[in-house]
Amino acid sequence: MRPPRVAYFPDSFHEVNGVAHTSRNFVSFAQRRDLPFLCVRASGSRPRQYLFETEGNLQTLELPRSRISIQMEKDLFFDPLFFRYASLIARTLRAFSPDVIHITGPSELGIFGAYFAWKLGIPLAASWHTNVHEYAARRLAWLTSRLHPGIDHAIESSALAATARFYGLAKVLFAPNAELCRMLEATTHRPCHLMQRGVDTVLFSPQHRTRPAGDPTIILGFVGRLSVEKNVALLPVIARELTALTHRSVRFLIIGQGAEEQSLKAALPNADFAGVLRGQALANAYANMDLLVFPSHTDTFGNVVLEALASGVPAIVTPDGGPKYIVRDHETGYIAQDADFPQSIASLLNDPPRLARMRIAARDYAETCTWDAVFERVYAAYPYPSKP
């Protein structure tokens, strides 16, 4: 029984976000297992020429975006001239002869993947990584708040309908949590399987904590894009209310970049802004936190939450989106409404034995999550009849 030959078209690969993080681990999984795998992606460094590489059964086609690419986020772009690669992608796909084409969203890469799946008669799989409909509503809130009440809901519904039509082109879907799977099955009438996230428990570990045991400072961490859809405006509110509730030295460590960075720096003058961290520097930063504060309502999973738990750091999250499926309320952290964040954090900081138990439970839970198990389930669900 041979494994399927998979052509993978990720929206993002070199950037700092959940899609890129998952995609890099997916390629690593295929390479470890010596599976026939083609990754077609946009280059991160923007070389002038495309790059094609082969290493064992892994093939990579990196394509630079044009100078007129539209910036969607600090490090995310959409290239309206990407169609210039149509012939190159077609030749590469025909030479590779995939059994399945897997896309991650409606980017130029996803559009090409869906087109060639139709053109070449290859089954299409699509994984949902970003709640683009919620992002659209939140990013236009500054405008819709001045217009007719309820228009933000109409924008979100229209964006969801359009995205669902695109995902409906696939034979099988993947999503990071059960709630999204139910939504996708209802809107696309396609089967949906879980594609959760794994974590590197060697890199992210309590062993990397370097703070003195008696350090009285409380470090609250946030890791992620500093943008409106991450609800980062709640962080200054939490800081002000915690000071009144605890009368203790509480300090925020903010890791990430984004459009809201300057406003956050003005509102949190005592916070440490570390920018984007990777690898060991990120692992050390997690391990030195006392609690991860993640107020996003739109994340489909929340890789940073799982990385914090692996580092022995409990997390407080909202009851919306994917992080609530990672945090076990009152065991590895808290699930709270925005207004309850300060009080929930204060109650935990005022109970050191409970915090210590949560740190142990967080690490224990993270050790049950592996990337290999995640991608083995993906391969098992591909729309591919096994061949001798």
Query: Among 47-51, 149-153, 238-242, 245-249, whose mean pLDDT is lowest?
Result: 149-153
pLDDT-derived band at 250, boundaries 50, 70, 90: confident
Give the model confidence (pLDDT) of 289-301 as tens digits.
Answer: 999 999 999 888 8
CB–CB of 254/274 below 8 Å?
A: yes
pLDDT more than 70, % of the chain: 89
Domains of the chain: 6-198+370-381 (3.40.50.2000), 206-366 (3.40.50.2000)
Question: Rounded to whole angstroms, how far apart are CA atoms 178 and 216?
Answer: 40
Give the model confidence (pLDDT) of 258-314 as tens digits.
Answer: 999 999 999 999 999 999 999 999 999 999 999 999 999 988 888 999 999 999 999
Question: Rounded to whole angstroms, how far apart are CA atoms 319 and 36?
Answer: 39
pLDDT of residue 215: 87
**Residues sharing a CB contact under 8 Å with residue 287, sequence separation 6 or more, in sequence order:** 204, 205, 206, 207, 208, 209, 210, 311, 312, 313
Give the model confidence (pLDDT) of 184-227 as tens digits.
Answer: 999 999 999 999 889 999 999 999 999 998 888 899 999 999 99
Q: Which residue has the higher pLDDT, 142 or 7?
A: 7
pTM of the full structure = 0.79
pLDDT of residue 246: 75
Question: Rounded to whole angstroms, how far apart are CA atoms 108 and 40?
Answer: 11
Question: Rounded to whole angstroms, how far apart are CA atoms 369 and 351?
Answer: 28
